[in-house]
Structure formats: C-alpha cells, structure tokens
Structure 1
Amino acid sequence: MMLLLLITHVSVSLAVECDLTKVPIIGGNYTVSNGGNVGSKVDYQCPKWKYPHPKYTRECLYNGLWTDQKIKAVCKDVRCPKPVEFEGGDYEPWQNFYTVGDTLNFECYTGFETKGSQNRTCQENAKWSGETTICEDYNSYCPNPGTPIGASKSGTSYKMEGKVSYTCQQGLVMFGSNERKCLEDKTWSGTEPSCRQWYTYDNPKEVAKSFSSSMLENVDTTNLEDRSDRSVQILKDGLMNIFIVLDTSKSVGEEKFEEAKEASKLFIEKMADYDIKPRYCIISYASVAIAVVSLRDPDSNDAEAVTKHLEDFQYNNHADKQGTNTRAALHSIYEHLIEQELAYEKEGKKADFMKIHNVILLMTDGKFNMGGDPREEMKLIIRFLDIGIRTENPRLEYLDVYVFGLGSDIDQPEINELASKKDKEVHTFHLENVNKMKEFFELMLDESDVLDTCGLSKYHSVEVDEKLRSLVMFPWIAKITITSSGVQYCKGTILSPYFILTAAHCFHLDDKNQKIQVIVDGKDYPVKNFYRHPKYDPISKVDKGIKRAFDYDIALLELTKKIEFSATARPICLSCTMGTAQVLKQPGAPCSSHEKALLSEEEVKAVFIAEEKSDLMEEMNVLIKRGSKRHACLDAAKKTPELKDVTNIEDAVSDQFLCTGGLIPVVDPPVCKGDSGGPLLVQVKRRYVQVGIISWGTVDHCEKGKRVKQTKSNARDFYQDIFKVMPWIKKTLEDSNESLTFLPN
C-alpha cells in the first residue's frame, strides 16, 4: 500500500507545470529548462551593467508556482554600496546611489596621512575599484583598520586588545570579519570586511590576485625576495596537505561537474610548477562524501597520478545526488587528518604532523540542505589542528580554508563563515560559474612572486587584444633587428635578466653592438656585449662543397640594462639548469638526464613560435625526427640544389642539428626566414623548455615576407641542438656572473 501511494505521489508531481507566462523579464532574456515542469529552472540574463531583480533564477515548485512568482522580473541598474561613514576626512560627491562608472574622491583632514585609494570607481560587478581609503594619524598602538564602503564601524580605540566591530547597511552582505582585535604585533585579527550587493561576483583577475598572494605566503619559489613577515613558510622540503572538495549534487549537473574537474586538474598542474610536493586529498560530495584521492594513498603526492584519479572519477559515482551534504565532506577531511596523525605517531613523528600546512579548497554551487551545519565540522578541524586556541601560539599559518561559491544560488553568509579569516588575506570568493573558476586558475601564477619562474605561458580565455595575447602566451620571445648592411630580422629568447639567446647566422662577423636592436615587451634594450660560439665559421666547409656551414649556430647578447620580469617578459627554461630540473621533477639529476627526458623518442612533439603578422605570434606544432626517423632528413637534404656537390651529407647535416619537416606522419608547418634565432621548444605540462635554435632549412617558405603552405616532401628545417653547445652557454654566462644555476654533466 505504501509503495502504491509513493508511485501515485510521483506521477501527480510530474504532472504539475508552472505557468510560463510568469517567467519573462523586462529588459532582458531568459532560458527555461525542462519545459516548465516541477524542478524546471529559469536563468535570467541582463545587458551589461544591469542585474536581474529579484534573483538570477527561479525554480518551479511542487505547488505549481515559481519561486518569487509575485515579483515581476526586471533588469535593474547595477549599484555599488554608498559610504556610511569616513573617519578623519571627507568624500565627494554625496549621492543617494552610485552606478557603474561613478567615481568617489576621498580627502583626509590636515594632520592625517591618506592610505589606500584616494579615487575609487564603481565597477560593473558592483564593487569599488582600489582599496579602502584610510586617514591615518599614527596616534594608536594598531593602525586605523578603516571602514569599508557600505559598512559602519563601532570602536575607535585602537590600543592593544582593543576591538572594533562592523555592520553592513541594510540589504548588503558581509564578507570577511565582523569583529577584529588589535594584536600584540600591531596587526588586526581576522580579515578586512567588505559589504556587497547580493548580485556581486568576484571577477577572475581579482580572485587570482587575492588567492595567489595568500597561497604564495606559504610556498617557496625560485629566487623569491625575503618574505620575513610570515613566521612559517612551506619550503621545497616542507609539508603540505591540499584538500580539494567538489560539489557533485544534482543541481550541479554532469557538465558543470566535468568543468569543475578540469578546473581542479588545472590547479594541480599550476601547483606542480612550485618547488613543493604536497599530498592531495580530493573529496566529492552530494548526499554522501566519496574520497577520490586519500591522503594515505601512496601516490597522493604525485601530481600526475592524482590528476589521473580525478579524470577516472565519474559524476555517476554518486548514486544519490539529491542532497548537498557539506558537513559530510568536511567530516571526511577530519577523518583523513586523524588517520594521518595516527600514521605519523606510529612512526614516532607526531611532532612532524603538527608542522603540516593544510589547505582546503571547497567549491560549491549552493547551500547545504542535509547533514547538519558544516560550520560545526569546521570547528572540529580547527580544534584538532590547534588553530587559534592558544594566544601565545595561535598557529594560524597551518590552516587555510578557501571557499569558492559558484553560481547564483549561493548562501553568501554561509561560505563566508566557513572560510579562514586572516589579516591582509582573502579566503571567500563568489564566482559567476565554474568556467570563471578555471579562468582564475589560469591567471593564478602571474603574480609578481613567480615572474622569474622559467617557461611559463598564460593560456586563458580572458578577452584581450591580439597583441597582448601574443605577449602573455610567448613572454620569453625577444625580437632582434640588425641594421649594419641592410636590415635583418631575427628572434631570440630571454635566458636571464641580462642575456638573450639567438642564432649566430643572424649577424655578420663585423657587426657592431650599436647596430643590434633588441625589443622585449615593446621596450628597447641596447646590447652591451655580443658573444658568438668560437667554432661558428660559415666558410669552414667550402672544401667539402658546402658554401655556408651552420655548425655551432648560436650567439648570446648581453644587455646594458636589466629586463624587469612581468607577465609579458619572462625567461625560457633552458636545459641543464636548476629551473628545468624542477620542471622535469628531476632534482639532483645530471644534465644528461634532461636530454633523455626531453628527446628520448624517435618523434618528439615540439613547437616553434611564428610571427604570422606584425606583433602577432602563434605556436606551430612540429615533430623532431630522431634515430631512424632522422634518415629521411638526410635524404631530403641530399636533394637540395645547394648541397648537390656534397659527398657526405652528414658534413652539412651534422649531429649539431635537430630536424623537423616533411609530410609524414603529418605535415609539419615550415620555418620562415624571420623565425631565425627563435626557439624550438618541448612542452612539459604548462611549461616550455628550449631544446633548439632555428638555424637553416632546405626550402625557402617565404613569399613577399609571408609563409606559404608546406607541400614539398623534401622540405626540412634544422635547429642548433642546445645540448651540443651547453658547455659554451654555461661558461659564457658564468664568466659574466649571470644568475642561472647550471647542472653538472
């Protein structure tokens, strides 16, 4: 009888439909899923600088009504919060409301110093540009913590142990700490609050900046400046757990879940670029929590293995997706930590367990609806790790909880309360969708602390002009112009702040430094010294029928001024250096291991960078032919008219050269004249290692300065093999006291 009643209930429910005439929005567009049946969802879209009122979505309920059905949907102007109070100064203009493009100007009274942003502009995501403006008089133990726009502050005594509290004006949501305390070290506890509209999203660029600056406090990278303001850093031999928590509930859907997986994989790849090896624990949750990767797994510190486990995990692994049991996910973290502590204790290393830095990344598209309050579980984790309990040693640096709300159905106060609260750091983010999260991870490594990390390239979906896209995708390319006899154009790569690597054949033997122009990121860098390999001699093989020899086709340009590294000017990874050892995950291995790792196959996937239009570069995929595959390169070279009188073709195509080209197994794009001196690169995950320098070819693929399609079976391109000239590169840079760390042979 109970079964019959259940079936009847389901059939009646499925028959209910909501009135689609109640759906339209004034001034915008909408989409409806599932035809208006129970569970159908309406998604509203408004023009730029507007938002849908009363909400971004509606849902068809079992009673046949849409949520908020009595309120007509309409697109309204985006508004930024207005100031409630400004201590120690004044601002203008005073208005009842501020829309996108409006600017506030702050001015402090005499005797106060202005800190933060003096001018702030209302942005399209309903947030003000810049930082909180503070008028500082330096008369208190702690600095003035300021009052964010949209908030009011109680408490004006900033003595040690003094407290201030914040409230947001009606209708705004608070992110950050509603109460802060003046600490003994003259900093404020917690995180500066912000008051936001319910429709405010964080954009990927600002999330990347906040998240990266927080994460980088705990990660050691190559050549970082001193960061003594943080008591504990996770060094390359340090300890770190990273927990990635994925919402797999029904509302997410399989497509968004797969996108979340891709974003998580991207994060793991990005973290692999740092000089650490964290242990990962990946938890997927709906009604129950499932460990995709456990801390105890022997390969949980292997980024590739962790990524593979994540790839293999499917959305349908959760049989019941009806619930969003965030507490179960956090309880799973708690259990993993207990198990890890026991394992350390068994080995007599319990003290080491307490030195592990724990990072939790919680991603969710909605609030919890079962399992109880997740904040209670977070309290257990905090107590277990002894975080914030003892005044003399609060251990705040050993736990960072980042919460990413994805989509419009987020309970903003909930995600704020779950996240860590630390001075000058942000741990709560609200992104428009999971694609924005992936975009943020793409941007994550572009902070100033890792600008000198070699071989980084920024592939992301941010809308920028084509010229800027070329610069951020290929930031290690230098453009070289030689004007001694005619004009010669070549490329080069940034090796270090003062050195450019290029081809010797780009220059005449008597070229003067002042005739060489080097452009990096649109800036001109004069040449101080020009170094050509001593064995490079174009006429050395004339007696063998070779009119122009290219062996040892390598040159180094030393610049008079330092390249300031940025997102659009970075060094390339050079084989046999410490930077590439980190990329290949071969710390301590000799130089010879790099050649085996990068060039071990008979057909090696590689790329060169071509400039198809002025200032617009693109990546060209080629195959390096080695071993038995190299024979076809020799045969092709024999048929070149310029080499028809050569008795032994290996005199022309010596072992100095790597080879690409031909039509088999695929048509390799051809190198053109202006590409000379540029790099031949092997991609390792998201980093690039230079293995060759564009030198010469059997066919000229340029017509009137433009590349023509490769159609000739005997066309081959040759590159100076970096490994063959590494001793000379090493000696030249070391003699100049340049800051590359080379490996032993």
Structure 2
Amino acid sequence: MVPPLCALLLLILTSGSGARALLPAESPQCSGDVGIQGGNVSLSDGLRPGSLLTYLCPLGTYPYPQPSRLCQPSGHWTPLRTSSSTHNPTPTCRKMRCPPQLQFEHGTVGPRRTFYLVGSELTFECRDGYTLRGSALRRCLPTGRWDGEMPACDDGAEHCPEPGVPAGALRRGSRYRQGDRVSYRCQGTLALVGSPERECLPTGEWSGAEPTCRFPFSYDLPEDVTASFGASLISVLGFVASSTSTDQNQPVLKTYSLERRLILSQDSVLHLYLLVDASKSVSEANFQVFKDCVKIMVDRIASFDVPVKFAVISYASKPIVIVPINGEEAGDADEVLERVENHMSKKAHGNRTGTNIHDALQEIYHWIIFQKEALSKTNKPDEWKKVRHAVILLTDGKFNMGGSPKHAVTKIEDVLEVKPDRNDYLDIYAFGVGQTDVEWEDLNAIASKKIGEQHAFKLNGPVELRTTLDSILDVKSIGEVCGLGNHSEGATAQQMNPWHVVIRPERGESCRGSLVADRWVLTAAHCFNNVQDTKLWRVNIGSTDIQIAQRFDHPQYNVRAKVDQGIPEFYDYDLSLLQLERPVHFSATIRPICLPCTKEANRALRKPVRATCKDHEVELLRQARVPAQFISLDNERLSVHIKTNEMWARCTEGAVQPGTLYAGKANVSDVVTQRFLCSGPESTGEPEASTCKGESGGSLFVEKKMRYFQVGVVSWGTYNPCAQSRPDNQGRMQRKPPPHRHHPRDFYLSLFQTQDWLREHLSPALHFLPPA
C-alpha cells in the first residue's frame, strides 16, 4: 500500500493539468574530479558552494598552477590561473626550486644555473685580499630557500661591512661609508622579504632587516620560524626576572644579556596585540587552531616577569574586539583567556567574510591615540612613551578590502614616533598560514624591519603554526619557567611531560620521579629500600643519563616502623630527593614541573606576591573530587580524581578492604595518615586509572591555567593492574581490570603536608612562600 503522503506527492507530479510541482531547488555542486598529479586535495565543505579546495603536495614540491580553488554558487570551481597560454592546465605537484645567485661581488660562485632543485649546492670563494663572511656552501632546502647565511666578500676597508646580495636579487650601491645606501630588487616572480633599502649606520651596521628573495610557493618550516621569531620575541619580552631579596615585596630586578633587548622597568608595560583572521577562507577547524594559538601565547607570555596587557581582535570584513587594550581585563591573563574561550567565534562575523587587515590595525592606532591624548591631560604627559607595543597577526590570505594594511602601519609608526632611537618600541610580526593566497609582499609590507631579525613568516598550515608557537614559547630562553608541556601535533611523550624521569638501578626494577629544579629530582623513598649506595644508579631525563650525587630520604620514613603492630609495610613520609651530579640544561624535553608553595609556581598560578602556601593548597585542591593525572609505564597520562574533605575518609577506607595487605585492620589511620592523598573509583566500573608497580615515585599532578603542578608522589596502592600482564602489539602494557567487588585505591604523599622537609633541601634552588 502506498503511504498517503507519497500518494499525494505522486498525484501532484502526475497531474494532467500541465502545472509543474514547485519542489525545493538543490544548490548545484561542484565536480568531484579535482585531483592533482603527485598529491592530494582537502575540501573545507565537501563539493558544496563556498567550499575551499586546497591542493596538498609532498615536502619538496608545490601545487601548480595555484594552491587552491573555490566552489562558486554556479557549481563550478574557480578557474586555474596561469601566466602561460596553456588552456585548462592539469594541477600538478611540481618540484620545489631555489633562486639563482645573480650577483656576488669580489668572488666566484658555482655552479651557475638558471634554477636549482632541492638538494642542489652552491659554493662561494673570495678573491685574494677579501674574507668570506657567511656560508661557503649552501644547499637548496625543500621549502624553496637556501640554508646557511648569505655570503659576502669583505676587505674590511669600509665603515660598514660588505652587505652581500641575496640569491635572486640585484643590488645598487657599492659604497659603504656612513650614510651610504644600498637597494635591492628581486627578479621575475620573486618577492623581496626584508628591507629593500639599507643605510650604513654610525654603529657600523646596516639598517633594517637583511633581504631575501622568495618564490611565491616557498614557505618556512617550524624550526626556521622558531629560530628567527623566537629570538626576536624573547628579546621583546625582555626579560625582567625576579631574584631573591631581603624584602619579599620588593624583588630585585636582573636583566639577561640579549642581542636586542627591550628591558621593561617597573613603571613601564608591554602592550601585546593579537590579530586573528576569521575570513571566508579560514575553516572552522583552522580558526580553532588560531584560537588555541592565541591562548598559548597569552598563557606563556604571562609567565614572564614582564608587566603586560593583552588585546585580542578577530577580523574579517570588519574587526571584532574580543579584549580591548584599555579594558580592565587586559592586564589579567585569566580574564583574557576566559574571553577568548567564550567570546571569540568565527560565526560572530556572519556573512561579512572579507579580509580587512587595515581596519584591524586601525583599531590599534585608535587605542594608541586615545591613550596618548588621555595621558597628555595628566601630570605625566610623556608616560605613553614608556609603553612598548608588539603586534602578532595571523592570516591565511591576502587583504581584499579596506585598503593597504601598510597605511595603518605607517600611522601607528607615526603616532609612536618610531625612529632610530625609538625603533624598539614597536614590533609587528606577520604570519601567513597555508599557501592559499598568502603573498610574501603583503606580509613584508606589514612586518617590522629590525637589524638581524625576521618579522614576516609563511607556514604551510595551522598545525605548523601551533607547533611553532609551542616550540618558541618552550625553549630554554624562557629560563626556569615551570610546568610547561608541549601539546602540539606530533609532540613526543617527553615533550608533553618534560619533567618526567626514570630512575634506573644497577639491576632490578626502575622507579619514576619528577624534575623540580635543575639539579633536583623528587621521588619515593621506598624505591631505595635496603639500598645504601646509589653511585651506580642513573637518572634518565629525556635522552640524558645523569648520576646521583646525593640522596636525601625523608628522615621519618621507615617501612618497618609498625611491624610489631602487625603492619608489615608502612609508607608514611615515603619521599626522597636526589641531587644530580650536574645541573641539566632546560630544553623542550627537559623542564621542571611546578612545585606548590614556591614563587615559581606562584607566577604560574598568577597569584599576588603576598600569596601563601595555604593559598596554593586551596587553589589546587579546593574541589571534593580534584581531576589529576600520573604518567604510566608507557609514558601516557592516566586520569584519576583526588578525594578531599569528607570524601577523603571514604576513599581511605579502601586501604583495608578484603584482599589487601592491610585487610582486617581495625583502624585505617594506622595505615593511612593525614599526609596521604587518595584516589580510586567510588563504584564498580567507574573509569579511573590505578597505578602499576614501577610507577612509584612519579608525579601526581593537576593542570591549572595551562600549567602543571605536582601535588603528590606516587607511593602505594591496593591493586596492581600490570601484574602478570604482557605488552600488546604496540608494546604497551595491558592494564587489567580489578577483581570483582574490589575498589582499587592509590595513595600519594602530599607535598603540602611535607613542606618543612622540602624547604630544608630545595632552598635556594626554589624560592618558597610563607606557610600561611
């Protein structure tokens, strides 16, 4: 039988009246025949109108004739653009190439070719009487640029050194006395990045940024950007670090020697403006990556002892201010992060999907004008001159409305009176993300030009941007910033947990531990039961093995203390500190975790300088069920919940449940003291991890404000899920579920309850807060 609705529809469609049914029209879809030779494609919204098709090519190749196409409302892809007469060219992944060395003064270069494929080499030699600066041998990289440094032959006779000529360029000017200028012009389709004109300064340096010539399809690798942008940004941040002082409320300021440093005094401030592209070509997924990058920068930069205010703008056809620089929340990183998380949305721009970089920069100009005018009416009219400004702009395409962004940059430079003696008061970094319509000329027009620095970058995609920022803000230049973990795609377990260490005996089972300072590891004392000499033990941190210089077990730890009470093992005060034979060098894979009740952790929590240890305990353990993690034998993070307050007593009762070492003990407090933290499932089947034998000594840590704080040390448990288990096909331990009706419990020594001992040994490696 035909359903009534179908019958009605059939009647309409077959009516003999000659009238046609008005059915909803389907939007035409674009063709699915859109492959590329040698590569793959990515579609932002399938084959529907508005979908962006991106051609993806392997490293060392690039998409020709263009990197992307758009599905038009007509159901046709935008045509392939080509400078030749080729009709309907086939998209192809072409081999990357590097520009030729067109000019090399006072020397020879070879081999001479019109173009150079990836892996090609150039060698440089100078004539007699000239010395080679830069690289004698350069190789063509898969990204379309030469490695090494630009070579030049110099005789030392001029005020400024021979400035050199980048590959692909011609230079005008051959006099290098003070005030002389040289200019550069890139050939063909190459774009100049850096300063097109440079002047010989009284200091014997050339002004501006060293130029390079880039093909439209060339880009930077994350490691390239990490080196250039990282060094510059760290210089902008200062940085001013707190040192010890007899007065805890008046920290002594010390500066670190940097090539270009912008030291901020206590009465000055850095304004950091973060501008994020939300135009049509940015997919929702990529916008989320941009958003994550903003949160990373805010959180990490707030870790520096630098007075900083943040502004955040998303822009498409018009800018939307998420955090204004003159708002109350601008100086509070937590408030900024909250607004970014809850108020920054691509959908907020609606159908206004153009790319208007000019108006986004214009917002910054208006803020600066407002501040300058407001201060001019006070008794400190020149106070605005103390403010340093840094702009970080993220975009995936060239501007297409609002006029040239360079006009807004010029206005900002003029109002800030940026000139040689105030050059360090403004830094603008321009990031092009993805090969879609990102043009080197546009990036270079926005970016600052600083001696020895690069401010314009082009990365292959948002994931590479995230990787870059995680790496830049996680290098040793940051100093002893604690609790950082790299969560970019592809990060190793050690990069994610750089404080995690493995403690290996000469023979037998290993233990885990945590790096808390450059020469100190915190672990469990029971790892050394019946061990006197640890000279042959090794502490493995990342790929580094270090010997133990001294071991300090907690003096009140005694595993046999209650044998006469029928308790065979007693783990109160199960803590040990290992002093390493030499300090470690902090890096992306070696970094300390934050220890509560220290000034280092206080900065990470962004607490007032007058905060106490009790404030930290309340902040980190205020909930009845505190989400926490420990690191498994397979170097994976496993989740638990620390039970506090009234839930603590119920949790600890599991220590004497049937089938455990302490079953039948009348008093739980004989086994579990107030110094233990407790975790474990409250009901059968609850998804909560249990610790395995061999994970003892590791850190129990909580995440707060995108940082990691150790609150306990893994000591003992009622169930070992790794007992008699075998590794799976990937080499991972199979953690078995507990027996029926057994509720596993794990116990950790609380670092809040053992502060006196920690302070005794870790001062002055760490700077501790008052107890209360």
TM over 0.5: yes
Q: Structure 1 378/83 Cα, relative in aligned 2: closer, same or farther at 3 Å?
A: same
Match of 1:643 in 2: 662
1:423 to 436, 448, 451: 451
Q: Which residue does 2:544 correspond to in 1?
A: 523
Asked if 1 retains the 8 angstrom alpha-carbon contact of 2:271 and 2:308, the reply is: yes
The answer as to 2:614 corresponding to 1:598 is: no
Among residues 666, 670, 675, which one is paired with 1:656 in the alignment?
Answer: 675
Distance (whole Å) between structure 2 residues aligned to residue 666 and residue 110 of structure 1: 79
**2:382 counterpart SS class:** helix
- 1:675 paired to 2:695: yes
Q: Report how many aligned residue pairs link the two structures.
A: 714
Which residue is 2:21 aligned to?
none
Aligned in 2, Cα 1:559/1:39: closer, same or farther, shift over 3 Å?
closer
The equivalent of 1:295 in structure 2 is 325
Q: Secondary structure at the match of 1:242?
A: strand
- % identity of equivalent residues: 34
Judge conservation of contact 2:722–2:736 (CA < 8 Å) in 1: no
Note if 1:45 corresponds to 2:56: yes
Partner of 1:354: 385
- The change in CA–CA distance for 1:529 and 1:375 in structure 2 (over 3 A counts) is same
Shift of 1:348: 3.3
Match of 1:506 in 2: 527
Report the CA distance between 1:179 and its aligned residue: 0.9
- Among 709, 712, 716, the residue aligned to 2:745: 716
Summarize deviations over 1:607-664 as a string: whole Å, max 9, x none.
Answer: 111122xxxx111111111111112222111225422353421121001111112254
Give the Cα–Cα distance (whole angstroms) in 2 for the partners of residues 540 and 522 of structure 1. Answer: 38
Q: Which residue of 2 aligns with 1:480?
A: 503
- Are residues 1:460 and 2:482 paired? no
Q: Secondary structure at the match of 1:674?
A: coil
- What's 1:739 paired with? 765
Structure 1's 213 and 235: CA in aligned 2 closer, same or farther, altered over 3 A?
Answer: farther
Residue 374 of structure 1 aligns with which residue? 405
Structure 2 match to 1:625: 643
CA contact (8 A) 2:66 2:80 kept: no
**Distance in 2, Cα, partners of 1:502 & 1:33:** 49
The equivalent residue for 1:72 is 89
The answer as to 2:430 corresponding to 1:403 is yes
Contact 1:670 1:709 in 2 (8 A): no
Q: Work out the CA distance in 2 between the residues paired with 1:60 and 1:695.
A: 60
What's 2:277 paired with? Answer: 247
Q: How far did 1:66 drift?
A: 1.9
Q: Deviations over 1:29-52 (max 9, x none)?
A: 556788989877553333442222
Gaps spanning 5+ residues in structure 1: where? 1-13
CA distance in 2, matches of 1:233, 1:424: 18
Q: Deviations over 1:120-162 (max 9, x none)?
A: 3222211222332344444332333332222233333332222
The answer to whether structure 1 residue 165 and structure 2 residue 183 are counterparts is: yes
How does 1:122-161 map onto structure 2 within 5 Å? 122-161=140-179
Within the candidate set 455, 475, 492, 1:447 is matched to 475
User: Secondary structure at 2:101's aligned position in 1?
Assistant: coil
Cα distance in 2, alignment partners of residues 41 and 510 from structure 1: 64
Letter in 2 for 1:401: I
Q: CA 1:598–1:524 in 2, change beyond 3 Å: closer, same or farther?
A: same
User: Which amino acid letter does the alignment assign opposite residue 425 of structure 2?
Assistant: Y
2: CA distance between counterparts of 1:562 and 1:34? 52
The equivalent position to 2:220 in structure 1, one of 202, 206, 217, is: 202
Q: Name 2:606's counterpart in structure 1.
A: 585
Measure, in 1, the Cα distance between the counterparts of 2:694 and 2:510: 6
- Letter paired with 2:499: W
Gaps of 5+ in 2: 1-24, 243-253, 726-732
Structure 2 residue corresponding to 1:183, chosen from 201, 215, 225:
201
- 1:540 alignment counterpart: 561
After superposition, what is the alpha-carbon deviation per residue over 1:419-461, rounded to whole angstroms, capped at 9, x for unaligned? Answer: 1110111111122333332332222213331253212111111
Equivalent position amino acid for 2:613 in 1 = C
Q: Is the 8 A contact 2:314 2:344 kept in 1?
A: no
CA distance change for structure 1 residues 315 and 644 in 2, over 3 Å: closer, same or farther?
A: closer
**CA spacing shift, 1:637–1:33, aligned 2, 3 Å:** closer
Equivalent residue letter for 1:643:
Y
Residue in 2 that maps onto 1:6:
none
> Structure 1 pair 237/633, CA: closer, same or farther in 2 (3 Å)?
farther
Match of 2:418 in 1: 387
Q: Distance in 2 between matches of 1:678 and 1:180?
A: 56
Q: How far did 1:480 drift?
A: 1.1
Report which stretch shifted further, 37-46 or 215-224: 37-46
Q: 1:499 to 1:41 in 2, by over 3 A?
A: closer
Q: Secondary structure at the match of 1:596?
A: helix
User: Which amino acid in the other structure matches residue 54 of structure 1?
Assistant: P
Q: Is the 8 A contact 2:431 2:443 kept in 1?
A: yes
What is aligned with 2:709?
689
Evaluate the alpha carbon distance shift between residue 15 and residue 553 of structure 1 in structure 2; reply closer, same or farther with a 3 A threshold. closer
Cα RMSD for the two superposed structures = 3.0
Partner in structure 1 of residue 371 of structure 2: 340
